[in-house]
Structure 1
């Protein structure tokens, strides 16, 4: 036990007192590192996902200008997605102001649209968060696989190991995890900015290598349809995943928490938009195609910096920074999801143990549970990003739609100053995010999006059942103060004993000291009547020598079932006494080694389980610790 405690302290750190809560809260700088990697990291694969759709329009041997014209649609999609990002900022900024205790889409759905809307948003958020861990780590491993072949050959193993590392970092506390991830977050931002600067310098030095899409060229693209564009737009919207994390975790910010959360959200949207434009622009002007084995950012780095000397070193650095941001993007989920679960638990829609903060003042139960679910998804889908994205997209954009729909309902209800302008912008945001959600659902239905349609209603029913259970508990436990309190004089205390030994005498002494009308019960078993009579005579002689003054009842069991015979005796006493007036005092000896437990029968445990699960009698266990 001491070894396990020492290991826990080494992995997690010393316990923190409740009054130290203020010291683990974060500001905008650490907030960017803790809550934005999910959104920022999506820049690493969002353009890839758009080009995946456009790949069907690019033929072998196509001229570079024609390729650029096709990729021009990804630039158009990027512009629309950035517009949507700023609409989401307006929506989540208001959500943060109205719901400073966190909860995001769940809280606004629950309070402004109705219980089913709120719970369905919570369900999709949970799906999105668990997929964030699986997708981010898988994409991170994919990003570094071209540079480190050993990682590429053992992708699943590295996915599991990295997920566990992030779990332990988060168990150490919000402040420490933020401090760990700050350098990696800003390194990635710096690398993408460096890529943009390098591409700009290259364009000035070699303008002949740059191809800009033209309106006429894009119009002449064969096979481009509205449906295909919407499918591309929906895939590219994966760049917005994680935006809601800030609104779910407002309480982790330093005071004034609302202002700091809103500033963090604005910094996220501005940074995300800039990085997304850089990645999409560089890919378009250089005509870089989608390659399932080589991520687009790696292609861009090779194009801009080259594949030898210092240039290649910068390329490797960009790939490693991309891997790091993709992996720590999972940290957004480890911050947001346990916080969401705690908010739901406070409302009665999740188990109460989700409210518990561990030694390091984080929701450790939620962190461990999220790790378990995410590892199941990672293993089940073999850490394949393309197989996980369909589930991801539907979940994310449903929550975006609910968030903005809730704000739409609030604006119509409250009609504050300037509400009409905000109403139009919010309605446009609902339309765009709803369109992306529907497109994901339709186009990727058979690829796995159908799982969301199955899981979300089941989760909503589960949440409602939990709330019903907690409500019933409150009703059952509510005391009727109109009835006078009085202690009952009639009752019985039963002490089952296996023999006259230290453990049973210890329990008997406790019963006599604390209760009235105590009786001891012993069950005799044997292969013959003579053997049973001999055992009866022996226990009665020992009982007489004990001289306890307590009546002993000896019961013969013809079927050699001690626990069942004791159960029948309790049921017999229940005919004379009400359950609240019967107390069972069970002797229990504690072994020194875990394997010693395997050497003893479980009569006491079976009786205890039966009493607790089936009867309303009071049960007391009196332990006796063995010395060796």
Structure 2
């Protein structure tokens, strides 16, 4: 039943040799890797304008508003320039680290362990928040035009997150097939919005208000710190750019070249869409509204709210919701890939390296879903409350990658190293400034969680690595030591009664070991009953003709497992630990609820034996047919 449902939801298992068919090219890469970055266009300008509302009066004229929004246009142009600097940095990272890892890889190898692990920690925070923020923003985008979703936002958030998880569990290539149309429809919608706004500007020039230098100088309350806050918020448009460098191995060969091509396509597309949204808002004097995102305002203004224009507005709203929702797909691809890179280096549990039936890191996908749902519920699916955590984490990774490229360029000093180092230094300065501003201005709004969680995560990753190193050292065999075959050993078979399960374990012990002894514990309320039970047990034992010595132990306190434990401890005085083997009979019930009807003496005994670290333990199962 479970297998059938799994096959329906996820699909047939793929063979390892089908890995090449599960990889993607640039076309599908736009659907898998870029939605996070492209979707940020839907809220980046809103985030900038949310800072500028303090200098826009309630009754300000459209011309004054456009002058204020002129600063958001300056911020947009600076951010676009920063996007191309990030492209150059991540292009080199892809070339240098084709196995993936992005900022984590360059931090670990070029800056040191702390930088690499802290970058990985903030990347994980960023990816987790990508799912929570993207899904929440997507639901917010469709809420104004679909009232039912607007009134059941939390339920819609949970359902959409689970749907995206299931699609990703079906495989990278298949998830790309699902998301390709939505990605390109969104790009087409924003381009259509830009064309429509251009036609609107030409046909109704009186509705257009261009900012002027005089007007911008006349804006009251606009200072450097406020501009930097606006710039930092607008930098949310760059979130997701690093995902391509983290997931290079998912591309078809030559994977590095395809990843670099996709990165360039992403940066150009992102810059164009961001420019359109910010320009339309500035020219028409559209201001921040917490209930109606700017893209919705722009589509209503350009296409109207009646007839065919309303249909176009709904399509743009739906496309925006879809791109915001599937932006989480970037995290479902990038985060498990990052975890796998860390696991290969020993900083994450080995189980995140496991690829599921569809050749994706299914354990990582499920784990990411659980963390994201906790954040979504904990922050009530509110984008503004999640964004402070998002901004600090994302721009810290940008800063690490830029700083790493500075160090790498200065160390290698290849052709044009001076110009490349200068660009990396500029990129580091801008991204570090954005990170610092986010951290200071949003510290009390939730950004403090990042400053608490990241050091804890770095500590945890370091301890994981230490554990794996200890395990490796402890398991390393000393070939100078001769192979030792125990001459004096004992094998103990605990038996509750003479039945198929215990005899099955006894036969196994006799066939594989010498000096086998059987031990049983009799615990009854009265001496007479205990003696009667012992006589019956010995009679059944004689009928076996096993030739194995039977030891009967009476327990006055009815503690079966403890008496067997005590017997083994006594045997430890006669034999070395490694020369004692305990063969534990276990019967396995056919149905899960049958387990609740039996005592756990065997399990308790095995747990003690394993935790005590004193003897060898073997469980011999016997499956009950009914």
- TM bucket (normalised to shorter chain) is over 0.9
Secondary structure class of the residue paired with 1:329: helix
- Structure 2 matches for 1:40-189, cutoff 5 A? 40-189=38-187
Where does residue 559 of structure 1 map in the other structure?
A: 557
Q: How many residues align?
A: 626
Where does residue 289 of structure 1 map in the other structure?
A: 287
Distance 1:234 1:328 in 2: 24
Distance 1:178 1:576 in 2: 65
Q: Once structures 1 and 2 are overlaid, which stretch shifts more, 494-503 or 33-42? A: 494-503
Q: CA deviation at 1:591?
A: 1.4
Distance 1:412 1:594 in 2: 62
Where structure 2 has 5 or more consecutive residues not aligned to the other structure, the ranges are none
Secondary structure class of the residue paired with 2:535: helix
Where does residue 484 of structure 2 map in the other structure?
A: 486
* Matching of residue 590 in structure 1 with residue 588 in structure 2: yes
Distance 1:38 1:341 in 2: 19
Q: Of the candidates 5, 18, 21, which is equivalent to residue 20 of structure 1?
A: 18
Secondary structure class of the residue paired with 1:47: helix
Q: Of the candidates 522, 534, 537, which is equivalent to residue 536 of structure 1?
A: 534
Distance 2:410 2:142 in 1: 49
Q: CA deviation at 1:586?
A: 1.0
Distance 1:389 1:33 in 2: 23
Where does residue 519 of structure 2 map in the other structure?
A: 521
Distance 2:342 2:280 in 1: 43
Q: CA deviation at 1:484?
A: 1.1
Describe the superposition over 1:412-463 as per-residue Cα deviations: whole angstroms up to 9, x where unpaired. 1011111001111111000000000000000000000000000000000000
Where does residue 398 of structure 1 map in the other structure?
A: 396
Where does residue 212 of structure 2 map in the other structure?
A: 214
Where does residue 498 of structure 1 map in the other structure?
A: 496
Distance 1:612 1:310 in 2: 72
Q: Of the candidates 405, 408, 412, which is equivalent to residue 407 of structure 1?
A: 405
Where structure 1 has 5 or more consecutive residues not aligned to the other structure, the ranges are none
Where does residue 195 of structure 1 map in the other structure?
A: 193
Distance 1:592 1:457 in 2: 47
Secondary structure class of the residue paired with 2:518: strand
Where does residue 418 of structure 1 map in the other structure?
A: 416
Distance 2:91 2:613 in 1: 53
Distance 1:62 1:288 in 2: 12
Where does residue 317 of structure 1 map in the other structure?
A: 315
- Structure 2 matches for 1:214-613, cutoff 5 A? 214-613=212-611
Q: CA deviation at 1:544?
A: 1.3
Describe the superposition over 1:365-416 as per-residue Cα deviations: whole angstroms up to 9, x where unpaired. 0000000000000000010000000000000000000000000000110111
Secondary structure class of the residue paired with 2:66: helix
Q: Which runs of 4+ in 1 moved over 3 A?
A: none
| RMSD (CA atoms) | 0.7
Q: CA deviation at 1:486?
A: 2.9
Distance 2:430 2:593 in 1: 62
Distance 1:303 1:289 in 2: 13
Where does residue 202 of structure 2 map in the other structure?
A: 204
Q: CA deviation at 1:627?
A: 2.3
* Matching of residue 620 in structure 1 with residue 607 in structure 2: no
Distance 1:505 1:349 in 2: 45
Describe the superposition over 1:321-380 as per-residue Cα deviations: whole angstroms up to 9, x where unpaired. 000000000000000000000000000000011111111000000000000000000000
- Structure 2 matches for 1:22-41, cutoff 5 A? 22-41=20-39
Distance 2:244 2:595 in 1: 49
Describe the superposition over 1:227-266 as per-residue Cα deviations: whole angstroms up to 9, x where unpaired. 0000000000000000000000000001110000000000
Q: Once structures 1 and 2 are overlaid, which stretch shifts more, 495-504 or 268-277? A: 495-504
Secondary structure class of the residue paired with 1:583: strand
TM-score by length of 2: 0.99
Q: CA deviation at 1:542?
A: 1.2
Distance 2:119 2:146 in 1: 39
Distance 2:276 2:573 in 1: 80
Q: CA deviation at 1:596?
A: 1.4
Q: CA deviation at 1:504?
A: 0.8
Secondary structure class of the residue paired with 1:102: coil
TM-score by length of 1: 0.99
Describe the superposition over 1:552-588 as per-residue Cα deviations: whole angstroms up to 9, x where unpaired. 0000111100011111111111111122211111111
Distance 1:625 1:340 in 2: 41
Q: Once structures 1 and 2 are overlaid, which stretch shifts more, 134-143 or 11-20? A: 11-20
Secondary structure class of the residue paired with 1:61: coil
Secondary structure class of the residue paired with 2:556: coil
Distance 2:565 2:103 in 1: 52
Describe the superposition over 1:38-92 as per-residue Cα deviations: whole angstroms up to 9, x where unpaired. 0000000000000000011111111110011011111010000001000000000
Q: CA deviation at 1:615?
A: 2.4
Distance 1:375 1:514 in 2: 51
Secondary structure class of the residue paired with 1:498: coil
Q: Once structures 1 and 2 are overlaid, which stretch shifts more, 539-548 or 121-130? A: 539-548
Q: Once structures 1 and 2 are overlaid, which stretch shifts more, 261-270 or 494-503? A: 494-503
Distance 1:591 1:431 in 2: 64
Describe the superposition over 1:273-322 as per-residue Cα deviations: whole angstroms up to 9, x where unpaired. 00000000000110001000011100000000001011110000000000
Q: CA deviation at 1:532?
A: 1.3
